[in-house]
Amino acid sequence: MAHLSITVHSAGAEPCRAEGEEIVWLAHEGEYQPGDTLVFETDEAPGYYLIRVDGGMDEAYVYLTEPRLEYPIPFEPEAEQFGGVRLSYCPGSFVGPRHYLSMRKAKPAENQNYRNLAKNVIDRADMTGCFPHAHANAVTGGPIAPIFAARNTIDGVLANANHWPWPFQAWGIDQRTDAEITLEFGRPVDLDELRLITRADFPHDSWWEQATVTFSDGSSETLRMEKSAAPHIFAIGRRGITWLRIGQLIRADDPSPFPALTQIEAWGRNAE
């Protein structure tokens, strides 16, 4: 049985900790401050786990390759001038005097399920040892940079009719013609469908007419898209893939210079 623990480290306070076998939960009292960190630990890694970092967020089905996962409480100080400290998170997350966290080892049947293998609501740019994980070579910067981070493409939020704040976060490419985003699974997976949801705040937004997806086995496919708020759905047959990369983005001939990617969905199963 996996021995699990959750610890909340807060400045100026004793750590708040809970332990359990196979499953553990923690009710934490106190307002979070910048620098506070959540730590999830297991004595069985690698392995599949379901982790909830806050009662206002979904559980994350993740593959841990390391026994310790640190999750700093997100604060976006640049966003204060825009009326908040977390523009890319639900306003009800990480606030208030009470917080609920949980961690459990996934059941064998859950690991065989057909699912969106890209979704990870707790992904962060600096995250290691926790998959899936998204990162990009180009991200729109400035005071609202978190609303354009790569992690936004795998957070499970599909709203795409505006360009900020939550729930309209997306991956912004900083008008780079060489922009590409990589999705790492951390283990082999079998895929049969890829869905791309592009931001559709027209006429503020432009869109891509074409993209190329490259897979860890060295193969690639050209994807053609159109001006649409609906998901772009592609049949993708790949087995044992550990990552994919979307690049060679060709923007439509449109006055707007702002195409953006709201969500990546990669449907399939963990490889045998």
Could you report the per-residue pLDDT of 13-69, keeping only the tens digit for each?
Answer: 899 999 999 999 999 999 999 999 999 999 999 999 999 999 999 999 999 999 999
Domain identity same for 88 and 132: no
Does the CA dihedral 120-80-16-30 come out positive or negative?
negative
Span 177-212, pLDDT tens digits: 999 999 999 999 999 999 999 999 999 999 999 999
pLDDT number for residue 239:
97
The arithmetic mean of pLDDT across residues 217-236, rounded, is 98
N residues, the chain: 272
pLDDT of residue 161: 98
pLDDT digits (tens, 9 = 90+) for 132-175: 999 999 999 887 889 999 999 999 999 999 998 899 999 999 99
26 in the same domain as 72 = yes
Number of domains in the chain: 2
The phi and psi torsions of 27 (rounded to 5 degrees) equal -105, 115
pLDDT, residue 222, reads: 98
Are 44 and 119 contained in the same domain? no
Domain boundary residue among 56, 85, 111? 111
Rounded to a whole number of angstroms, the CA Rg of the chain reads: 19
pLDDT of residue 142: 82
Q: Is the previous residue joined to 34 through a cis bond, with omega within 30 degrees of 0?
A: no
> What's the whole-number mean pLDDT along residues 222-236?
98
Higher pLDDT, 243 or 77: 243
Share of the chain above pLDDT 90, in %: 89
Mean pLDDT estimate for the chain: 95
Domain identity same for 79 and 191: no
* Domain ranges, residue 76: 3-111
| Same-domain check for residues 63 and 178 | no
Q: Which of 96, 111, 126 is the last residue of a domain?
A: 111
Q: Which residues contact 66 (CB under 8 A, 6 or more apart)?
A: 45, 128, 129, 130
Q: 128 with 42, same domain?
A: no
Say yes or no: 36 and 158 in one domain.
no
Average pLDDT, stretch 99-107? 98
Residues 256 and 165 in one domain: yes
User: 196 and 125, same structural domain?
Assistant: yes
CB 90 within 8 A of CB 56: yes
- 69 and 198: one domain? no
- Among the listed residues 117, 131, 4, 17, the one whose alpha carbon sits nearest the alpha carbon of residue 64: 131
**Residue at a domain's end among 59, 93, 111:** 111
Q: Are residues 20 and 61 in the same domain?
A: yes
Q: Would you state the structure tokens that stand for residue 179, as one six-digit string?
A: 């922009």
The token pair that represents 226 in the structure block: 């159109």
Here the CATH number for the domain that contains residue 152 is: 2.60.120.260
pLDDT of residue 82: 66
Residues 48 and 61 in one domain: yes
Instruction: Read off the pLDDT of each residue in 254-258 and give the average, rounded to a whole number.
Output: 96
**Which residue in 193, 168, 183, 182 sits closest to 260, CA to CA?**
168
Q: 70-91: buried (b, 16+ CB within 10 Å) or exposed (e) per residue?
A: bbebbbbeebeeeeebbbbbbe
